[in-house]
Amino acid sequence: MTEVEAIRARHSVRAYLPKPIEPKKAEKLEAFLETCNRESGLHLQLLRDAGGTFDRLLSKAMGLNSAPSVIACVGPDGADLEERIGYYGEKAVLYAQQLGLNTCWAGTFQARNVPAVIQSGERLVIVIAIGYGATQGKAHRSKTIEEVTNVQGEMPQWFRKGVELALLAPTAINQQKFRFCLDAEGKVTVLDQKGPFSKVDLGIVKCHFEIGRREV
């Protein structure tokens, strides 16, 4: 499965089978996170046992407490932490999809119950539920390309493809509060239109956009 295929196959899954991730697969995921951490300076961690991460009424109501494992998105506190978490966390989400696993980003969780290592100066921003889904989820409602760009009508193929894949990305409460702007020199800027966790969303959609742009 290519990254683009993983983007098309991925949907948030909130109901999981009571089946742990096999040790071999978990090791692959850990190695992938290690590579991301080396590149980014983040401290992403696979917690094979999700523990009490979703011990919260809201998480239970959503079904997330059925997830056997969790990726704790931790990193050194700073202005761009959330966006970096979004970018590298989404790389891990797509890699998990390629391994046949399902995921759901979750801003709602019980922070004090997350069995992650958080060093001095670091912050736990968000978690990602991970495991074998009881279903594969379903496609979300989406804004149109025109609604999230500054270009009307004709646009370069690479830009259109990037935005198309960005629209398939997960965003908090499916808000899609981002805007891709293309200037006359072909430079792209992505604007945060502000909402809950929209800085994390920004990193996630940049990850998808780059994959689309590379494709063309």
Ligand X SMILES: Cc1cc2nc3c(=O)[nH]c(=O)nc-3n(C[C@H](O)[C@H](O)[C@H](O)COP(=O)(O)O)c2cc1C
> Which of residues 44 and 155 has its CB atom nearest to ligand X in the complex?
44
> Which of residues 149 and 176 has its CB atom nearest to ligand X in the complex?
176
Q: Give the whole-angstrom CA distance, residue 147 versus residue 157.
A: 17
Output the smallest distance, CB 13 to ligand X, in A: 8
Q: Sign of the CA dihedral 162, 167, 170, 174?
A: positive
Output the smallest distance, CB 181 to ligand X, in A: 21
CB 178, CB 170: distance < 8 Å: no
Cβ-closest position to ligand X: 170
Output the smallest distance, CB 56 to ligand X, in A: 10
Structure tokens at 181: 């702007």
> Which of residues 155 and 172 has its CB atom nearest to ligand X in the complex?
172
Output the smallest distance, CB 7 to ligand X, in A: 10
> Which of residues 128 and 155 has its CB atom nearest to ligand X in the complex?
128
| Other residues' Cβ atoms within 10 Å of the Cβ of residue 123 | 15
Structure tokens at 36: 């991301």
**What is the contact surface with ligand X in residues (CB under 6 A)?**
11-12, 14, 62, 104-108, 126, 137, 140, 170-174, 197, 200-201, 204
| Other residues' Cβ atoms within 10 Å of the Cβ of residue 150 | 13
Q: Which amino acid is at 120?
A: S
